[in-house]
Amino acid sequence: MKIAKVEAFLLSSPLDEPLLLPFHGGERTILKRDAMLIRVTADNGLKGYGPGPAHERAEREINETIAPFLEGRDPAQWRTFEFPGELALQKTYRAVEVAVIDLAARFEGAPVSELVGGRKRDRIKLYGSAGMYMSPEEYADEAKAIADLGFTAYKMRPARGPEKDLETIARMREAVGPDVGLMIDAHAWWRMGDKSYSQQTVEQLARDSQAYKPTWFEEAVPPDDHAALKQLRDTGLVPVASGEHEPDESSFMDLIETGSVDYVQMDVCCQGGFEMGRRVFEATARHGLRFAFHCWGTLLEVIAAGQLGICWDEDVIEWLEYPCHANRGKPGMYPFLVADDVLKDPLPIENGDLIVPNEPGLGITVDESVIDRYPYQPGPWSIFKIDSPPETLAVSGDHSVLWVDPVSGA
């Protein structure tokens, strides 16, 4: 069996109307969400799939450079492929590699987990990830709704000022009771211009939040400032999480080796792939830390991370992020229809755990109709308008880049 074709498809799921979300220092607008589906086809017609980085550069790299490199090769020999290129291109290649492994595993009749390390368990804990820039009451209602779905933890994104953020944490705890985890993804706290929270404000919020037992504060200070993350962790007030914006492996190792976090986070499908993920897991275990998958794409990304995660014990890889979107009446943040529709069937979830399929490959069936149903729309998916100093910035599907041009998305 040889690889005959490698293809990358950028997809967009636009909102019917722009979603305007006021925060403490300005307003954020959600326009759409993007996704990438990677398809690798063999000369016998068998196909492997993977999620990819949802931006135009990655699409060009796959279709123009990575595809010619892979075509004609035996996917079963994926570990021996030595793909050349600079770091950004290497990261894109590692996303394609997930689809190659899926193809190889389907051919062998084995789950992906057996090819990338060997499964040690059949399930992994999920946390429901939703809430963005709402009132304290709305956060509490959503936290309860996500918990009622069976998730044992809920992650939200506060940005309404220190007093309202603390009130939000208190109300959420009251709504869900003592046993549901609460993750505070505070990436907006350093994106508010002059109203960005100081280190002292963040530490005071951590101190005031202790009574409500948050599972972690995530990116509560700029993520490239490992010293500030470590300073927060050294207070011992709350567990600290970060990792989704680490640009390379050496940066991950610095995050780990300096003890800057309690929870290391990585989006393996766009930050370096399965093999780099394994090295990050090993370093995490070596330093007595915990790992929690960052997962901000489609359900295809969730299952890919799950297949890798079950190759490690829960005392190393504890959590997998499950994005909850308001698709077709479900509780969650804005709609992102392609996130669900990329799979023909929902993922198996039991008591808040993802049950990782033991069928060949990723163990799922991709619905290729999404390629035509969700055509790509250029431009950034989210725009920040900051009040002071006046500034407009944007974010794209490239998690290694903090800001992009508000018009082009590049």
pLDDT, mean of residues 277-303? 97
Banded model confidence at residue 400, pLDDT cuts 50, 70, 90: low
The full length of the chain comes to: 410
Q: How much is the pLDDT for 78?
A: 97
**CA 173 – CA 111 distance, rounded (Å):** 39
Residues 6+ apart with CB under 8 A from 41: 3, 4, 5, 6, 7, 47
Q: Is the pLDDT of residue 13 over 80?
A: yes
Q: How much is the pLDDT for 397?
A: 82
Q: How much is the pLDDT for 26?
A: 96
Q: How much is the pLDDT for 329?
A: 94
pLDDT, mean of residues 270-286? 96
Q: Is 54 helix (H, G, I), strand (E, B) or coil?
A: strand
Mean pLDDT estimate for the chain: 96
Q: How much is the pLDDT for 395?
A: 86
Q: Is 395 helix (H, G, I), strand (E, B) or coil?
A: strand
Tokens found for residue 239: 């567990």
Q: Is the pLDDT of residue 256 over 70?
A: yes
DSSP character at residue 13: E
Q: How much is the pLDDT for 312?
A: 98
Distance from CA of residue 73 to its chain's centroid? Answer: 30
Burial label for 15, CB within 10 Å (0-12, 13-18, 19+), is middle
| Beta bridge pairs of residue 155 | 129, 183
Q: What are phi and psi of 32, to 5 degrees?
A: -170, 180
Question: Which position has the higher pLDDT, 400 or 362?
Answer: 362
Q: Each residue of 113-135: pLDDT tens digit?
A: 999 999 999 999 999 999 999 99
Strands (E), 267-344: 290-293, 317-323
Residues 6+ apart with CB under 8 A from 249: 272, 276, 279, 280
Q: Which amino acid is at 96?
A: V
Q: Over pLDDT 70: what percentage of the chain?
A: 100
DSSP labels for 116-169? TT--S-SEEEEEEEEEES--HHHHHHHHHHHHHTT-SEEEEE--S-HHHHHHHH
Angle between helices 273-286 and 87-108 (to 10 degrees): 100
Q: How much is the pLDDT for 406?
A: 83
Strands 3-23 and 47-51: unpaired
Cβ neighbour number for residue 34 with a 10 Å cutoff: 26
Q: Each residue of 50-105: pLDDT tens digit?
A: 999 999 999 999 999 999 999 999 999 999 999 999 999 999 999 999 999 999 99
Q: Could you tell me where the DSSP H helices lie in 80-150?
A: 87-108, 112-115, 136-148
Q: Over pLDDT 90: what percentage of the chain?
A: 95
Q: How much is the pLDDT for 403?
A: 80
Tokens found for residue 291: 């790992």
Q: How much is the pLDDT for 72?
A: 98
**CA 260 – CA 273 distance, rounded (Å):** 23
pLDDT, mean of residues 368-392? 96
Q: How much is the pLDDT for 396?
A: 86
Q: How much is the pLDDT for 140?
A: 98
pLDDT, mean of residues 139-144? 98
pLDDT, mean of residues 328-343? 97
**CA 153 – CA 147 distance, rounded (Å):** 7
Strands 240-242 and 263-266: parallel
Q: How much is the pLDDT for 9?
A: 98
Q: Is the pLDDT of residue 375 over 80?
A: yes
